[in-house]
Amino acid sequence: MHRTVASPAAEPFWAAPALLAALLAALGFLGKTATDLIGASQQAARARRSRLVELYALIRAGDAAFAAQSALRRRLARQLQRRLAGAVDLSRGHERLFAATFAEMEAEERELHALIRAITVHTFYPLNQALLAWLRSDVYFRAASPRHRVLGDLAVYLARLEAHLILWIAKYEAWIPEHPEHALVFLADEDHHGIAFPQGGAERLARILGHPPEPRRTPR
Residue 32 has pLDDT above 60, yes or no: no
User: What are the distances in angstroms from CA 49 to CA 52, 140, 206?
Assistant: 5, 11, 12
The mean per-residue pLDDT over the stretch 63-85 comes to: 93
Instruction: Tell me: pLDDT of 114 over 50.
Output: yes
Question: What pLDDT shows up at residue 189?
Answer: 74
Mean pLDDT comparison of 6-10, 103-107, 216-220, highest-scoring range: 103-107
pLDDT above 70 coverage of the chain, percent: 78
* Contact of 200 with 157, CB cutoff 8 Å: yes
Residue 19's pLDDT band, with cuts at 50, 70 and 90, is low
Which pLDDT band holds residue 45 (cuts at 50, 70, 90)? Answer: confident
Whether 101 and 88 have beta carbons less than 8 Å apart is answered as: yes
pTM of the model: 0.78
**C-beta of residue 182 within 8 angstroms of C-beta of residue 26:** no
Give 12 or 207, the one with higher predicted confidence: 207
17, pLDDT greater than 80: no
Sequence ranges of the domains in the chain: 29-209
In this prediction, residues 198-214 reach a mean pLDDT of 90
Give the pLDDT mean for 2-9: 50
Q: pLDDT by residue (tens digit) across 123-176? A: 999 999 999 999 999 989 998 888 888 899 999 999 999 999 999 999 999 999
| 43 or 169: which leads in pLDDT | 169
Name which of 131, 152, 137 is nearest 57 in CA terms: 131
